[in-house]
Structure 1
Amino acid sequence: MAAEKVKENAKLNYFFIKLFVVLTHIVLLLNVYLNGVYDDAAAVIILSAFVIASDVIYFMILGTFTQDTYTVDYLLVLIANISLIFQSCFGGVQFNLKHFITLTAGMISCHAGYLFTRNSFKAEKFRPYCYAGIGVLMIVILLFAGSRSMWINIGSFSVQPSEFMKPLLVMICASSLQSQQTKKKYWIIRTAPNNIGMVLISVLIIAFQWWCRDLGSIPTFAAVTGCALINRLCYPKAAFSKRKIGALAAGAVALAVLAVKFAPGYVKDRLYVDIWADQYGNGYQQCRALIAMAEGGWLGKGPGAGRLSNVAAYDTDIVFSSVSEEWGLLAAILFVILIVLMLATSLINTPKCYYHGTIAVGVTAVFVVQMSLNIFGSCNMIPFTGVTLPFLSNGGTSIVTSGFLIGMLKASQSPVFVRNIVEVEPGTERGDQS
């Protein structure tokens, strides 16, 4: 009886969440109809039909899945269709079919990420393939991107393969955690072999990003590795001394200082540029972004009424400013809060093992760092990096990768544990077989 009552309460709670999702989208669409800038009302009708229909269809599909919790899924569909509404209004209301397709691909990618990482034992076996996947991506970039670039052009489409390294690195960091009890002596360091592999692949990725001049993504990869190392301090019998912790902290600071000292000239220019003194040069985008945010105020100029759409990267790198101009700073901040709430669900439905806990921490690190770089760069609080804002910026590679990462986050809350006998190396920790 008690279990049935819990299920009934859960269904009731999810009903209200679904109602909230649909009502939120309806309110935004009404704002577009009443205050938006458009030539034909058919554009608003088409946009509304796609948003509401995708809500209903996704709810129906989700009802066929068996999971411990669905909170992440409902928050994701809320965020995705808000993003579709925002992107369809920049510079005038017109349904953005390309963004709708990429968001749909992101939703599918989310379920793929969930299926791929929900079983910690299978993920442990996939670790070598994650290393190989990163190597293959690097080779593909070197062969097809050209000119030390991260982008591969395929007809009218552009793909950034380095984005796919993010979930692979998170999986490497998480799947190598179970071997912490099998430590060996390496010169003056006693650690698990998988820790050495994790650090080396992270250094290789960062060096590769540096060589390809995609410095904006380096903090994201560094944050994932840093959080994984911190997680290892919390692992049972980690046996990290204060001296080792101090050495790691000192090493991180030293690397940061060296990175700034030996940064390329164009990077140093961004660190010290006065955007207002060079508002038609290096500071052009940030100046226009700040002006747009100031003109939009708290409530915005109205959907489609913005002028920032005439500036390059208005729908990607400075999308936060574009939303602030048309919808207001309040709406832009609320969108970011929704993403933070989706990440914070792991605090409510806590992961059941260290593997999924590390995944949740790694995914959160990716999103928090990317959002910080994008928003603070648009606001001129840090140098402009050109990093996308997850789920809001236009771009298929970014959205598909973000969807896969959210699927990994969902897996940390709805895991699958296998009880059959597995082979474990002597001394390897087996606490996750419950």
Structure 2
Amino acid sequence: MKTYFKKYTRYLDYPLLFVYIALTLFGLIMIYSASMAWSVNYYDDAPNRFYIQQLMNLAFAFPAFAVASIFPYKHFGKKWMMKLVLAVIFIGLILVHLIGYEAGGARSWIDLGFANIQPSEVAKVGIIFYLAGVFSNKYKKGNINNLNESIAPPVIILTLVLLSVFLEPDLGSMMIIGAVGLSVMAASGISIKFFAKMAGWVAVGCAVFIIPIMLFASDIIFTEKRLGRLDAFFNPFSDELGFGLQIVNGYLAIGSGGLSGLGLGQSIQKLGYLPEPHTDFIMSVIAEELGVLGVIFVLGGLAFIVLRGLSIAMTTKDPLARTLAAGVASMIGIQTFVNLGGLTGLIPLTGVTLPFISYGGTSVILLSLAMGVLMNVSMVHKFEKSKK
């Protein structure tokens, strides 16, 4: 391990490291700014409550990033690792249905006493590791386009994961996991014909289970809150004091920021008008306080990570490196789109957080772990390029 460390850390991807640290620290500052009034008024707690909690989350996230950065990514192609990843995913998803508690309209959380975890966040990252290992091995063996060998096992696994997350029900995470899974498959080297078949089988597999559930358990899936979010998507101003409250006040925050914003800490909407401003609507506070310049900083950083990952995926010759890089990049890109799409009214609200910026322990720790894997892939990729 010492030799490995010396060999590859010389090729540390400093731009990727800088952007990751900059985004997480910027997010920490904005969580403090966005949550002060909310913590005092609605939780009757100290104004730095969520800041301290996120600081503790980063105390786990940064080591997770560091360990993943030096952990050889090639282990993700080994059977024992794939089995371990699947075990962690399904244990979490089973436990959340048995002992999980409801928050935000979904039974998505498990209380460990000292911390709360969200198994769907684990599934987002875990499905990347599993599918990358499966398809890279198939590619190396030359049977990537074999119907029986390539499609059945991963399609079944992905369908079961999607079904479990749907039953929480966490539709936003389900959408992200499905899109990320298909992105890893698309980057695996599979032909367009077989990719279309796999995507079709995933859709059919989900439909077989989901449609009957939607028909016979519609009261559970189509709750008043979800229907309200759908109505707010089409016309948020029709119920601006009810289900449209978050979207309307998000619009007001974005519109009042201008080019340079009102100044850090000077948001009006966070004072009680915008619910939970430190979570999925934190970009509204950024736009209000720091203006277009603050938004550009965040979007620029996230875009850099996504493009860096896709660049590595397109230039590396290692199928495992390609699928891992594409999976991590697509996850961050898709989650960013889902968050900002809900905030701006492009898609219905899902409650999905903004990567590295929004408050959330499970999210920032798992994203940091995924970033560490991407860093390891980048270092090995740079080392291999230096030998040519």
TM-score range, shorter chain: 0.7 to 0.9
**Aligned with 1:304: secondary structure?**
coil
Would you say how many aligned residue pairs link Structure 1 and Structure 2? 346
Residue 308, structure 1, aligned to residue 252, structure 2: no
Q: Which ranges in structure 1 are unaligned for 5 or more consecutive residues?
A: 1-61, 417-433
1:179 pairs with one of 138, 147, 152: 138
Q: Which amino acid aligns with 1:166?
A: K
After TM superposition, give the deviation of residue 119 of structure 1 in Å.
2.5
Q: Is the 8 A contact 2:159 2:202 kept in 1?
A: no
After TM superposition, give the deviation of residue 153 of structure 1 in Å.
3.2
**1:217-272 superposed Cα distances (whole Å, 9 cap, x missing partner):** 0121111211122123x25xxxx474x55555666777899979947434455334
After TM superposition, give the deviation of residue 371 of structure 1 in Å.
0.6
Q: Which amino acid aligns with 2:156?
A: L
Residue 204, structure 1, aligned to residue 160, structure 2: yes
Q: Which amino acid aligns with 1:386?
A: G
Greater share of helix = 2
1:245 & 1:356 partners in 2: Cα distance?
19
Q: Which ranges in structure 2 are unaligned for 5 or more consecutive residues?
A: 1-5, 38-46, 382-387
1:285 & 1:82 partners in 2: Cα distance?
23
Q: Which amino acid aligns with 1:363?
A: V
Q: Which amino acid aligns with 1:338?
A: G
C-alpha change, 1:284 and 1:157, in structure 2 (3 Å) is farther
Q: Is the 8 A contact 1:91 1:306 kept in 2?
A: no
2:31 pairs with one of 74, 77, 87: 87
C-alpha change, 1:392 and 1:257, in structure 2 (3 Å) is same
**Aligned with 2:33: secondary structure?**
coil
After TM superposition, give the deviation of residue 161 of structure 1 in Å.
2.5
2:85 & 2:76 partners in 1: Cα distance?
15
Match of 1:218 in 2: 174
Match of 1:23 in 2: none
**Aligned with 2:147: secondary structure?**
strand
Residue 376, structure 1, aligned to residue 333, structure 2: no
**1:193-240 superposed Cα distances (whole Å, 9 cap, x missing partner):** 5x42221111111111111111110121111211122123x25xxxx4
1:332 pairs with one of 278, 295, 299: 295
Match of 2:97 in 1: 142
1:291 pairs with one of 235, 238, 252: 252
1:282 pairs with one of 207, 223, 243: 243
**1:48-75 superposed Cα distances (whole Å, 9 cap, x missing partner):** xxxxxxxxxxxxxx9x954453332122
TM-score, length-scaled by structure 1:
0.71
**1:251-305 superposed Cα distances (whole Å, 9 cap, x missing partner):** 6777899979947434455334321011111111111111111112222111111
Instruction: Note the 1:62-211 alignment, pairs <5 A.
Output: 65-90=9-34, 96-120=51-75, 123-146=78-101, 149-154=107-112, 157-177=115-135, 178-180=137-139, 181=141, 183=143, 190-193=147-150, 195-211=151-167
C-alpha change, 1:145 and 1:371, in structure 2 (3 Å) is same
Q: Is the 8 A contact 1:113 1:407 kept in 2?
A: yes
2:185 pairs with one of 215, 229, 234: 229
2:23 & 2:335 partners in 1: Cα distance?
16
1:223 & 1:392 partners in 2: Cα distance?
21
Q: Is the 8 A contact 1:352 1:412 kept in 2?
A: no
Q: Which amino acid aligns with 1:299?
A: S
**Aligned with 1:73: secondary structure?**
helix
Match of 1:346 in 2: 309
1:241 & 1:335 partners in 2: Cα distance?
34
Segment drifting more, 76-85 vs 398-407: 76-85
Root-mean-square deviation over aligned CA pairs: 3.3
Match of 2:41 in 1: none
**1:88-120 superposed Cα distances (whole Å, 9 cap, x missing partner):** 323669763322222232221112223345224
Q: Is the 8 A contact 1:293 1:322 kept in 2?
A: yes
